[in-house]
A and B are shown apart, each in its own frame.
Chain A
Amino acid sequence: MVETFTPAVCGSRARQRLAIVLFALAAILASAALGAVLGLVGSLIGTRPALIGAAALAFLALLRETGVLRLPIPQSRRQVPEGWQYELPLPLWSTGYGAGLGVGFLTFQPVATFWVAGAAALALGRPLAAAGCFALYGAGRAFMATWPRRREPSGPAAVEKLVGRASLVPRANAVVLALAVVLLAIAPAAGAAVTSLGRGFDPAADGQTLARARMDSGTIKVLVNPPDPDPTDTISPANAPALDGDYLAYEDDAGIKVIDWRNDSPVTQLDGPYSHPALDWPLLAYIRDDGEYERLILADLSNPGHPTHRTIASVRPAADLGRPALRGGRLAWHRVVHGGSAIYVLNLANDQRRAVKRTNIWMEANPSVTAQRIVWVEHRPGGSYLRMKWFGSKRTKTLMHLNGRKTFLWTTALSGRTAYVTKWTPSTQKSVVLRVNF
């Protein structure tokens, strides 16, 4: 490409600059788009299998690059279609060249590292982050089309100079691949990608928006964090948030309120001894404590004039029904009594309830649901575990665990393939919300 972007080929210095800019833009956009697609696919297939695949691929590439193993790589034998620069107008061929090189697999691949980066983007499972990382690949392509000519007016001479230093590339590449193998291989040890999102507790999620409660100077408030660039919304005093689109349910001293958090306008409120709301508008689940019993109520607020309230479960005050979860036509809750604990799910479509997990020993608590999955926390003497199960599958998967009794996992939230969980240390009163991508 160094030889292509010359005034002679382009027609003038101005046209050369235009061709370089278009080439660079196309390369960056194409590689970012490829990264986004890989990240999206990764988010659908799950990060753990992709991560293991990426580590294996990096290892194979390392063997290939060090000459231990001979492996073909998928590539085109040409760099770009040469005829385009003679047949097409300049804006088109320079953009086409940029896009072709930016997506990587339409051109010649001197090393296998591109495919390792692709697998890593897949393993990241986050389209935006993968797009950002992959855009650097396109930027690198654009950089290499111009940088070798910075002191060399002749294109062919610049290329010759570059070829003279080419022997360094395989060695540097092997070192990078070895590092990639190590980093990718140790990443699955965490079970899933865990990120701390800072102080807070009782997370509630819907899409990319996360709500949480936070204790500040003795007052509990609710923070709603939509994706950037929207600002964070704060409601105070408020506790135990539940989120459904623009609607936020929370508890305060009077009972439960539902508001439109984007403009802070009230939607409805229930005054009384009500707490722990779960929202899937127009359905609202909550706990009613009348002193003698703690009851889980499911309210249908679709007709504001005649809301219906239905008791789903009840326990004596010494037992606990915790914080219910409502999403995708399912209501989930825990029941912890002296003799054991269980996680229940009620399918609202057919009114069938079943125990997802029941035990006489451990403490199963704080479930969250989507239409496909359920997550909850299992407390054991040795630590606490974030468990996940597909509806319709018998297998339970552990997303993460914390050792010890001093710090444990607490309330959860679930949105797509991302779980959120509170990490709580009673002795220091410190709580943080963790994001777990799986």
Chain B
Amino acid sequence: MRRPDGLLDGAARALSTRLASGMTRRSFLGRMGGAVLAATGGAAVAAAVRPEKSEAFHFCGHIWTTGSCPNPLGLPRIDKNGFPLRPSDGHPIDNLGRPVNADGWAVDGSGSRLRSPDGEFLPRAPRTRICEEWTNEQYGLDAVMEGAWYRCCSGQVRKLVDCCSFSKKRINGDASLTGYCFNGRRVFCVMYYDSGLKC
């Protein structure tokens, strides 16, 4: 059981972390200045000092604002071919987010295949690529996995991968950037692959 002052400290730390991850120091000061001016001098002056967009923490190795590609469990962790993996441990999952064995059958925590009410094995659910199938179907695009860059995360090399399309808008709804895409494509959303190589 945590002491009340410990809980308070924890809450304050979480709040400061959120603030720090949501804004750079420059953007924070910019917003503060804008608020003060807005209160005293009016919106026209405040607009002149509006801060730039915050550089949000996304996931380890990615601090820019392009969002994650659609995926089953919230973080776009993929294997080397672009199929979904469980973010916590890299176990292969199907499109419903269930862990699967090497043949693609859904399994429980002990690795046994899941069964239907009559005792038969459950059928395999689809397992398709995050960029080429998930993103394209949900957003009506022709996206492909293209550019990549590398960062060190949790002691191993992480490959960050752009899902690139010809869309001028990215998954966030605003203008897309060229990033590491090529042939006229732009970054629509991002994914990552943990290589297992030490760094």
> Taking beta carbons and an 8 Å cutoff, which residues of A are in contact with B?
201-202, 213, 215, 220, 239-240, 318-320, 322, 336-341, 359-363, 365, 379-381, 405, 410, 422, 424, 426-427, 429, 431
Find chain A residues with CB under 8 A from B128 CB: 338-340, 360-361
Please pick, from A201, A322, A405, the residue contacting B123 in the complex, using a CB distance under 8 A. Answer: A322
Find chain A residues with CB under 8 A from B127 CB: 338
Residue among B119, B123, B137, B138 facing the most chain A CB atoms (10 A cut-off): B123
Please pick, from B73, B117, B123, the residue contacting A320 in the complex, using a CB distance under 8 A. Answer: B123
Shortest Cβ distance from B184 into chain A, in angstroms?
Answer: 25
Find chain A residues with CB under 8 A from B119 CB: 215, 220
Shortest Cβ distance from B167 into chain A, in angstroms?
Answer: 18
Residue among A320, A361, A362 facing the most chain B CB atoms (10 A cut-off): A361
Contact residues, B14-59 vs A (CB, 8 A): none
Please pick, from B104, B115, B126, the residue contacting A341 in the complex, using a CB distance under 8 A. Answer: B126
- Overall SS of chain A's interface: strand
Given the interface contacts A320-B123, A379-B125, A405-B97, does A215 sit within 8 Å of B117 by beta carbon? yes
Q: How far is the CA of A410 from the CA of B108 in the complex (A)?
A: 18
- Give the top 6 A-B pairs by smallest Cβ distance, nearest first: A320-B123, A201-B117, A381-B97, A381-B72, A431-B117, A360-B133
Is residue B124 contacting chain A, with contact meaning CB distance below 8 A?
A: yes
Q: Are A380 and B96 in contact, CB atoms less than 8 angstroms apart?
A: yes
Is residue B141 contacting chain A, with contact meaning CB distance below 8 A?
A: no
For B, the interface residue count at a CB cutoff of 8 angstroms equals: 27
Given the interface contacts A322-B123, A362-B126, A363-B125, does A405 sit within 8 Å of B96 by beta carbon? yes
Is residue B114 contacting chain A, with contact meaning CB distance below 8 A?
A: yes
Is residue B165 contacting chain A, with contact meaning CB distance below 8 A?
A: no
Q: Are B117 and A410 in contact, CB atoms less than 8 angstroms apart?
A: yes
Find chain B residues with CB under 8 A from A359 CB: 126, 137
Is residue B103 contacting chain A, with contact meaning CB distance below 8 A?
A: yes
Given contacts A320-B124, A339-B128, A365-B123, 12 further A-B contacts (CB under 8 A): A202-B117, A220-B119, A318-B124, A336-B125, A338-B126, A362-B95, A363-B126, A379-B96, A381-B72, A405-B97, A410-B116, A422-B117
Name A213's closest neighbour in chain B (CB-CB): B118
Q: Are A339 and B123 in contact, CB atoms less than 8 angstroms apart?
A: no
Shortest Cβ distance from B111 into chain A, in angstroms?
Answer: 14
Shortest Cβ distance from A164 into chain B, in angstroms?
Answer: 62
Name B121's closest neighbour in chain A (CB-CB): A320
Shortest Cβ distance from A362 into chain B, in angstroms?
Answer: 7
Find chain A residues with CB under 8 A from B118 CB: 201-202, 213, 215, 220, 239-240
Shortest Cβ distance from B176 into chain A, in angstroms?
Answer: 22
Name A214's closest neighbour in chain B (CB-CB): B117
Name A423's closest neighbour in chain B (CB-CB): B117
Q: How far is the CA of A322 from the CA of B122 in the complex (A)?
A: 10
Is residue B192 contacting chain A, with contact meaning CB distance below 8 A?
A: no
Given the interface contacts A337-B126, A360-B128, A361-B138, does A426 sit within 8 Å of B95 by beta carbon? no
Find chain A residues with CB under 8 A from B115 CB: 426
A-B contact pairs, 11 of them (CB 8 A): A213-B117, A215-B118, A339-B133, A359-B137, A360-B128, A362-B126, A363-B126, A365-B123, A422-B117, A426-B115, A431-B117
**Count of A-B contacts judged by CB separation below 8 Å:** 85
Name B74's closest neighbour in chain A (CB-CB): A381
Contact with A along B124-144 (1 / 0, CB 8 A): 111110000110111000000
> Taking beta carbons and an 8 Å cutoff, which residues of B are in contact with A?
72-73, 95-98, 103-104, 108, 114-119, 122-128, 133-134, 136-138
Q: Are A426 and B114 in contact, CB atoms less than 8 angstroms apart?
A: yes
Given the interface contacts A215-B118, A361-B126, A379-B125, does A338 sit within 8 Å of B104 by beta carbon? yes
Residue among B108, B115, B116, B117 facing the most chain A CB atoms (10 A cut-off): B117
Q: How far is the CA of A365 from the CA of B97 in the complex (A)?
A: 17
Find chain B residues with CB under 8 A from A340 CB: 126, 128, 133
Q: Are B133 and A361 in contact, CB atoms less than 8 angstroms apart?
A: yes
Q: How far is the CA of A215 from the CA of B119 in the complex (A)?
A: 9
Q: Are B126 and A360 in contact, CB atoms less than 8 angstroms apart?
A: yes
Q: Are A363 and B117 in contact, CB atoms less than 8 angstroms apart?
A: no
Name B136's closest neighbour in chain A (CB-CB): A360
Q: Are A319 and B96 in contact, CB atoms less than 8 angstroms apart?
A: no
Q: How far is the CA of A322 from the CA of B118 in the complex (A)?
A: 13
Q: Are B116 and A363 in contact, CB atoms less than 8 angstroms apart?
A: no
Q: How far is the CA of A19 from the CA of B117 in the complex (A)?
A: 59
Find chain A residues with CB under 8 A from B134 CB: 360-361
Given the interface contacts A201-B117, A431-B117, does A360 sit within 8 Å of B72 by beta carbon? no
Shortest Cβ distance from B81 into chain A, in angstroms?
Answer: 13
Q: How far is the CA of A371 from the CA of B103 in the complex (A)?
A: 38
Find chain B residues with CB under 8 A from A215 CB: 117-119
Find chain B residues with CB under 8 A from A360 CB: 126, 128, 133-134, 136-137
Q: How far is the CA of A427 from the CA of B107 in the complex (A)?
A: 11
Name B84's closest neighbour in chain A (CB-CB): A381
Q: How far is the CA of A360 from the CA of B137 in the complex (A)?
A: 7
Q: How far is the CA of A429 from the CA of B114 in the complex (A)?
A: 10
Find chain B residues with CB under 8 A from A380 CB: 96
Q: How far is the CA of A424 from the CA of B118 in the complex (A)?
A: 11
Name A321's closest neighbour in chain B (CB-CB): B123
Name A337's closest neighbour in chain B (CB-CB): B126
Find chain A residues with CB under 8 A from B98 CB: 405
Q: How far is the CA of A391 from the CA of B172 in the complex (A)?
A: 36
Find chain B residues with CB under 8 A from A379 CB: 96, 125
Find chain B residues with CB under 8 A from A318 CB: 103-104, 124
